[in-house]
Structure 1
């Protein structure tokens, strides 16, 4: 892969650079989306900042809990600017949780805000997959398939490319807003359900999965729970929106 580039005496980590560009592009797109919903774009920018900080800190701490020996022997490693030493799923959940807390405390329209954030999150998913391609993280299991890639001494499933392809497809679907008529917040839930479904599928080809009870892939179990939860919310929010629309028309 291509984890770094040398610029004179400096070594620039390409995954970190891609993630920074992803945050910038995602924020820009979410601000534009906020204007379409008549929201203050500064509100969106601040919300992204709070969520990003919480998500990064949470992702680093979650990663440290997976490998406690490394950080117990060298606690300052927690502060290292290493984009590969993050737990993305946990970081995303923590970031979203903080965003929801901020939204509720400021009494903002949560579903509209979530819809405004949706395209930005989809862009960041593309950046995350690209960063994994460059770093070699989230690698696949060994395979003899003709499209296998050589990585870490073996031919492996190009899981990072699977993730990138799916992320681009998801962005295209999200931008079309196929369920916009079903009410506010549905586009966000649709993104979350699609992302969970993709992780459920691609995790089966991962070579670095965390196993629970010896054989259960942790990420698949979490993704399945999230998929079921978001599908239930889509149904619930759609029914509530339909009921409100019917009441207004009455």
Structure 2
């Protein structure tokens, strides 16, 4: 996704100048149906195809004159979930995480709703770390299932991580209910911010929501990732706005979209 695509729901200030669409929007959780057997997380009508009515806030491309409805920004919307996932992965990269951790399971193959179980096991792991005085850092977690055997595993990006005794980590992972197989590595740093976009951890954060958004939402409990306290020091919304601004400055791409009241 390019910066121009990401600016699809641009917001403006009082001057009417183009600005990042994240400034005046808020992401919400999708609302699943009450029937567990029929649960579908991508359950809203596409917001960009709704008719524009007088009084609506719309987006106008100042270069082409194209007019679009404002995005609803809900995870359950087919038109918004891809943008939501991309902007979240951009925010993750922007706060400069230090390590990547992948944990696996042996008993959650093809589990229908794996996130609550993964969440509980991560909670047990962090409780053990506090007791053992091991600093794990803040976690950002995305759950996936293997396409071949349905193995449930979690990709975790770590902020303020440290070197960890692997024997300790393996022992505590197994005690928490995970498998003993894991990977833990430091994220390379030093390159320009824009060079990271679409690479490394960002691919985990986006690919599932592009190929099968309903399934990705199912695996992650309706969210685009789960983040522990302190992962985004100033809040996720600010991180999203700042990261999009940083990418725009790094690439020299600026949004042509402004907002207006449709008359």
Normalised-by-shorter TM-score class: under 0.3
Greater strand fraction, Structure 1 or Structure 2? 2
Higher relative contact order (CA 8 A, sep 6+): 2
Which TM-score applies when normalising by structure 1?
0.22
Greater helix fraction, Structure 1 or Structure 2? 1
